[in-house]
Amino acid sequence: MKFSLKKKLLYILGAGMIAALIGQLFTRYYLELPSLIALEARSDSKDVERVRLAMDQLVKKIAVSSIEYGTWDDTFEAVTMNPEEPAFEKFTSINLVPSIFEALDVDGGLFVEQAGNIKYSSHLEKISSRFGPEAKLDPKSLKPDIPYPSRVPVKERLITAGFSQSNLGPVIFAASHIIPSLPPYPASRGIWIWWRLADSQVFNAVIENVQIQAAFIPIAEAAADTHLSVILEKLMASVGHLPRDNGGYLYWLFNDLSGQPMFLVKQNSDKRAFAENLVSESVVIGFAISAFILIIVALFFSRDVLGRLLHAKALMLKIIETGEYDKRLETNNSDEIDTMFTQFNQLLAYIEMQNKELKGQNQELTQLSQQDALTGIPNRRYLDEALDRCWHQSVRSKSFMSVLMIDVDYFKAYNDNYGHKAGDQVLRQIAQTLQNHLHRATDYIARYGGEEFCAILTDTSPEAAFNVGERLCRAIQDLNIKHEASGSVQVVTVSIGISAITPTEIVVDFDLIKAADEALYMSKERGRNQVNLNRTESYGNGSQSIGS
């Protein structure tokens, strides 16, 4: 069969148009849409991570409070008292009351003896109103079971913390060992638990913190809903990306400590930034150009269009693998492919912004974990890291390093006489004063525990450290905080113990904190309100003191 050139041209043009259409659809289906969906999934994961971080922040806040109360001498003594003793009643009436719960943002607290029996439990009135006057949190209902001290030795002050189901419903709780405030630690005498209902008040706080609209739906309620049960089955099967519905909502599961789903989270997400249709505007325009001049379009497609798309795919895959969201596709707004690239770049810019926000929140969480909640100055965790860092720095520079242990004199008597609220205010004043009198960037001050503070001075000789200690003593006394129960002057004072050494590669086990504690003990023994120096150097050991 013979065909005219016109027909051959028409047949070739038709075949070329079909091939061009198939090529455009292939590119759209296998290159463009998967990359866009992968980027969208990354964006969704960032939003979910922000909510999870906010939930973790609530857990860490309760965990810090649980550790502070568990690592407290008063708690360590109270757990062995008879509940009928006045001292026990005084302890519970001060520390397990609504004002403390509200200040710590918890609903209740309890502590149990070493064998797991509840010693004392208390909660806010709203708990009794909701569950009845006899309702109380049963620690045995928490899953997984809390390992009580009779079965587990003391390794970490915090035993466990997180979300869990309980006899009162979903709760956030933190359990920590009841041990003394200072080492060496004997066996734990029990467990201190702070807890809070995981209710709408908690979730509203999370939403307000991350500025993302979300609903936390109990698993049983979600399973009973026809629409949500389908989504729940997909999540349980862990198939594909996090599911979305037509309303633009994103769904994911929030598990409790035992790994069991606790809530189905329905989270508001940004509207999809690209069309999911297979036949897009770029496909239609590309097909029209291919049909107009087949050969030129084919050459252009192989050299420029397809090459650019493959380059874009490679770049997007690299971005997905490396997380380098600051990269961009080159555009000059000259054609439809550049329009698609602009969509890519918009998604990349959005994810980059979210990534920066997430890093900022991580930095903020790190700062909160290293800050003492009461005084606002660094806590013991920060001090331990600073001590290790300064030791190695002093080894390299072969310079002195000094540690000051600072203890508030007669602080228990102050609390007994003026109340814990006034005592907390005194600790804040003292912390601020100590911080204000340590001017160098290489000087560190932190709350060590209870009424005790610790300062690290690098490149500071024993004599200079002693002078700093005297200055701090005078500064606290000059605050003129009235203290009628003081055994010396009638104002709040501090005692200071100092240890100083020039660290070397050979001296690796020297305990500066212990040496400073010994000097502090000497200051207490000699009448308080003074400074004592415990100096360890090649020219000898000794101590010296001057009253402030």
Amino acid (1-letter code) at residue 105: D
Report residue 191 as tokens: 């467990």
DSSP string spanning 92-152?
A: HHHHSSHHHHHHHT-SEEEEEETTS-EEEEEE-HHHHHHH-TT----GGGSSSPP--TTTS
Question: Within 13 Å and on the Cβ side, how many CA atoms surround 298?
Answer: 12
Active-site pick, 89, 451, 470, 484 = 451
Q: Is 188 left (phi over 0), alpha (psi -120 to 50) or beta?
A: beta
Q: Is residue 451 annotated as a catalytic residue, yes or no?
A: yes
Helices 306-322 and 33-70, axial angle in degrees (round to 10):
10
Decide if 161 contacts 59 (C-beta within 8 A): yes
Nearest-angstrom CA–CA distance, 126 and 130:
6
Nearest-angstrom CA–CA distance, 450 and 452:
6
Burial of 41: CB neighbours in 10 Å, binned 0-12, 13-18, 19+: middle
Q: b/e map of 149-187 (b: 16 or more CB within 10 Å)?
A: beeeeeeebbbbbbbbbbebebbbbbbbbbbbbeeeeee
Burial of 463: CB neighbours in 10 Å, binned 0-12, 13-18, 19+: middle
Decide if 190 contacts 72 (C-beta within 8 A): no
Which residues are CB-contacts of 512 (< 8 A; sequence separation ≥ 6)?
387, 391, 401, 403, 499, 501
The set of catalytic residues is 451
